[in-house]
Amino acid sequence: MIILKTGRELSVMKEACRISAGALKLIGSAVEPGVTTAELDRLAEKYILSEGAKPNFKNYNGFPATACISINNEVIHGIPSHKRVIKAGDIVSVDLGALFEGYHGDNAATFAAGDISPEAKRLMDVTKESLYEGIKMARHGGRIGDISHAVQSYVEAKGYSVVRQFVGHGIGTSLHEAPEVPNFGNPGRGVRLVSGMTLAIEPMINMGKSGVRTLADNWTVVTLDNSLSAHFEHTVAITPDGPQILTIAD
C-alpha cells in the first residue's frame, strides 16, 4: 500500500532528511586516504545521535552499522570495518539515513579519495546526473516508469549499465515502503505518481556490465565483472509544484 504524507508529516520527514543529509555531508568531507570505513561510520552515528535522531540502518535486518560504505567494485551494503583502510584513488559510496520522530530519511553519494582516474570521475558524474534526470520526472500525474526510463536512458547513452537487482523505494514511517522505484523501465508505465508520495530515488550504476553478486558476508554487493560502481540517492517528495528534494544539508 502506498502511503501519502500530509503537510505535517512532510515537515517531520524534512527534519529526518536534513539530519541524513548532514551525516552524509560530514562523511564525504572525511573521505581521504588512510581513513578506515569504521572511522567514517563512527562519525555518522555520532552526528545523527547529536541531532536527536537515530541511525535507521543500524540493526535493520541485522545490518551492524550506521552507514553502508562500499568501495570501488562494491555496489552497495559494504560493512564498515577497522581493517578497511581507504586508499588514494578509491571511490567510496556511502548510504545512510536517520529516523526522527517516527519518520525516515535516506540518501547516498559516492566520494573520491584523493586524486581518482578520469574514468572513475566520469562514472561518478554521470551517476549523479542520472539521479537528477530521474528526479525531474517525479511529477504529480506521471508514472514510476518515467523516473526509471529517465535514469536508464541517460546512463546507457553514456555507455554504462544500470544495476537491476536493487531498486529505489517509497519511504516514510518505514525505511522501505511501496512503491519500488527501478532505475530501468518504460515511460508511461507503472504506479501513478501523486502529490504526497515520498520516494528514495537511487541510481546504482556500473562502469561495466549490470551483473552483481552478494559476498559471503550476506551484505556486500559487488559487480560481477569487477568494474567500478557508483551510487547516488535523494529522498524526494512529490508536490503539486513539482518534485522537492528533502535530503538537503544545512
Dump pLDDT digits (tens) for 207-224.
Answer: 999 999 999 999 999 999
Burial (CB count <10 Å: 0-12, 13-18, 19+), residue 34: exposed
Q: What pLDDT score was predicted for residue 135?
A: 98
* Domain ranges across the chain: 7-245
Dump pLDDT digits (tens) for 83-98.
Answer: 999 999 999 999 999 9
Q: Is the pLDDT of residue 243 over 90?
A: yes
Over residues 227-232, the mean pLDDT reads 99
Over residues 144-149, the mean pLDDT reads 98
Q: Which residues of 229-239 are buried (b: 16+ CB within 10 A; e: fewer)?
A: bbbbbbbbbbb
Q: How many residues does the chain have?
A: 250
Integer Cα distance of 93 and 204 in angstroms:
10
159: CB partners within 8 A, 6+ apart: none
Structural contact between residues 71 and 90, judged by C-beta atoms closer than 8 angstroms: yes
Q: What pLDDT score was predicted for residue 198?
A: 98
Q: What pLDDT score was predicted for residue 104?
A: 98
Which of the four pLDDT bands, split at 50, 70 and 90, describes residue 3? very high
Dump pLDDT digits (tens) for 26-65.
Answer: 999 999 999 999 999 999 999 999 999 999 999 999 999 9
Q: What pLDDT score was predicted for residue 250?
A: 86
Q: Is the pLDDT of residue 161 over 90?
A: yes
Q: Kindly give the residue spans of alpha helices, DSSP state H, lying in 93-200.
A: 118-136, 144-157
Over residues 92-120, the mean pLDDT reads 98
Q: What percentage of the chain reaches a pLDDT higher than 90?
A: 100
Integer Cα distance of 57 and 78 in angstroms:
12
Mean pLDDT of the chain: 98
Dump pLDDT digits (tens) for 183-204.
Answer: 999 999 999 999 999 999 999 9
Structural contact between residues 60 and 213, judged by C-beta atoms closer than 8 angstroms: no
Crossing angle between the packed helical segments 144-157 and 118-136, to the nearest 10 degrees: 160
Please determine, looking at this structure, whether the domain spanning 7-245 carries the CATH number 3.30.1490.20. no
Q: What pLDDT score was predicted for residue 25?
A: 98
241: CB partners within 8 A, 6+ apart: none
